[in-house]
């Protein structure tokens, strides 16, 4: 079947407005009964990157989660809200509590009776169909669910340009194993392939994106917020991400996951080929939505095995953005120290200090720093080449 993506306008997070938009988007796909049967365990895989309030625009908004919970319950399903948050929040009961409280999901559970996941166990499973990743650790509740509903948030990402449905599923990997993946998958193309492998393993029945307020610029933690005003729904993570990038005016083939998905024949590479229901992409287009400052062209350079092997450190230093902690903004909280897969950040004199010789430019530290204290800077040579080659 040709992939369909429902687009429904949703101007704000008032609960009745969100309830209507979420219902309408799922109805356009045939209604909740197409996805949930009575008695089924339904896991809502939200984006809980950090323990931050919904107004920061980092996590899936609780109003959207509540709307989906109510529909699942209406269909007779048993909703369970789950995620393994980003590296700054340990995947422990205490870490989950901190995240649920800050994000408003504790209150959603209290209001609706939905369950929150407290089980921090995981299992290593094999994925023979995986293109790159044949074995991986997955959190237990995902493996035990009858149905997975993926609930990403529309945000930019300094490394992937865009983080949506495909990237959201990285949260099924338990906390510590994420860091290992970052260290293993140094090449962005490999990382994108890994995300597609996780998507094909988890196979969410439904993807519902919170694109009411998105994040532009250097997301996914500290970019400026931007009204996008829509809820998107689809059976297909790749098709939904493609439409979302179309709405914010990005070239989908510059998003590593979408580029690799097209190369693997998971979609055609043209947003126009995706069937939209409800509003059209043109109707909800957001002009001048700011991409991240990192150019995807840098991915191609880093992906060249010869250059990487022989000139890796030089290329890394000059042709990638360097994460630079800023005195004055750094509170020495240590989140980046805990989340760095290379374990090369130390706190010296109340400032995070990075050993650049071993930095793989995964930008986990930038992603995890909710103080916005890590700037991404280019060397003089990198800036020159970037300008000459037409980078922005």
Nearer to ligand SF4, 280 or 331 (CB): 331
Q: At closest approach, how far in Å is the CB of 302 from ligand SF4?
A: 13
Which residues of this chain interact with ligand SF4, rule CB under 6 A? 323, 325, 330-336, 340, 342, 344-345, 352, 354, 359-365, 369, 371, 373-374
Cβ(221)–Cβ(367) below 8 Å = yes
Q: At closest approach, how far in Å is the CB of 363 from ligand SF4?
A: 5
Residue 324: CB atoms within 10 A of its CB come to 14
Cβ(288)–Cβ(250) below 8 Å = no
* Distance (Å) of CA 156 to CA 171, 235, 289, 344, 348: 17, 22, 10, 26, 31
Residue 198 CA to residue 336 CA, distance in Å, equals 25
The tokens for 390 are 């037409």
Nearer to ligand SF4, 253 or 330 (CB): 330
At 295 the three-state DSSP class reads coil
Q: At closest approach, how far in Å is the CB of 305 from ligand SF4?
A: 20
State the residue for tokens 């980046």.
336
Q: At closest approach, how far in Å is the CB of 167 from ligand SF4?
A: 16
Nearer to ligand SF4, 194 or 258 (CB): 194
* Distance (Å) of CA 73 to CA 6, 134, 200, 206, 210: 21, 35, 26, 15, 20
Nearer to ligand SF4, 151 or 373 (CB): 373
Q: At closest approach, how far in Å is the CB of 325 from ligand SF4?
A: 4
Q: Is 98 exposed, middle or buried (0-12, 13-18, 19+ CB in 10 A)?
A: middle
Nearer to ligand SF4, 130 or 372 (CB): 372
Q: At closest approach, how far in Å is the CB of 356 from ligand SF4?
A: 8
Nearer to ligand SF4, 132 or 344 (CB): 344
Q: At closest approach, how far in Å is the CB of 113 from ligand SF4?
A: 36
The tokens for 334 are 């240590």
Provide the residue count of the chain.
392
Nearer to ligand SF4, 87 or 278 (CB): 87
């Amino acid at each position: 079947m040709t992939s369909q993506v429902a687009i429904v306008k949703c101007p704000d997070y008032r609960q009745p407005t969100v309830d209507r938009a979420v219902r309408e988007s799922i109805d356009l796909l045939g209604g909740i009964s197409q996805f949930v049967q009575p008695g089924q365990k339904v896991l809502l895989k939200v984006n809980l990157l950090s323990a931050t309030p919904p107004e920061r625009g980092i996590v899936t908004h609780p109003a959207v989660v509540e709307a989906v919970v109510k529909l699942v319950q209406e269909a007779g399903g048993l909703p369970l809200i789950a995620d393994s948050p980003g590296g700054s929040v340990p995947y422990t009961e205490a870490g989950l509590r901190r995240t649920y409280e800050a994000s408003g999901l504790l209150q959603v559970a209290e209001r609706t009776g939905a369950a929150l996941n407290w089980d921090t166990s995981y299992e290593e499973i094999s994925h023979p169909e995986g293109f790159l990743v044949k074995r991986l650790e997955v959190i237990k509740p995902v493996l035990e669910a009858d149905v997975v509903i993926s609930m990403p948030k529309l945000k930019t990402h300094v490394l992937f340009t865009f983080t949506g449905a495909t990237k959201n599923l990285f949260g099924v990997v338990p906390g510590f194993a994420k860091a290992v993946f970052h260290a293993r998958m140094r090449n962005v193309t490999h990382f994108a392939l890994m995300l597609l492998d996780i998507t094909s393993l988890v196979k969410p029945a439904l993807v519902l994106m919170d694109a009411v307020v998105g994040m532009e610029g250097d997301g996914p933690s500290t970019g400026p917020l931007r009204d996008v005003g829509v809820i998107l729904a689809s059976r297909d993570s790749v098709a939904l991400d493609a439409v979302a990038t179309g709405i914010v005016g990005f070239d989908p083939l510059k998003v590593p996951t979408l580029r690799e998905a097209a190369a693997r024949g998971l979609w055609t590479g043209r947003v126009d080929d995706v069937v939209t229901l409800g509003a059209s992409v043109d109707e909800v287009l957001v002009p001048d939505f700011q991409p991240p400052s990192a150019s995807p062209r840098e991915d191609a350079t880093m992906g060249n095995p010869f250059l990487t092997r022989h000139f890796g450190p030089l290329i890394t230093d000059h042709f990638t953005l360097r994460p630079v902690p800023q005195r004055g903004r750094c509170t020495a909280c240590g989140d980046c120290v805990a989340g760095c897969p290379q374990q090369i950040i130390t706190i010296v004199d109340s400032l995070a200090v990075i050993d650049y010789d071993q930095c793989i430019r995964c930008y986990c530290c930038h992603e995890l720093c909710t103080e916005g204290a890590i700037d991404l800077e280019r060397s003089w040579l990198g800036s020159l080449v970037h300008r000459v080659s037409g980078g922005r």
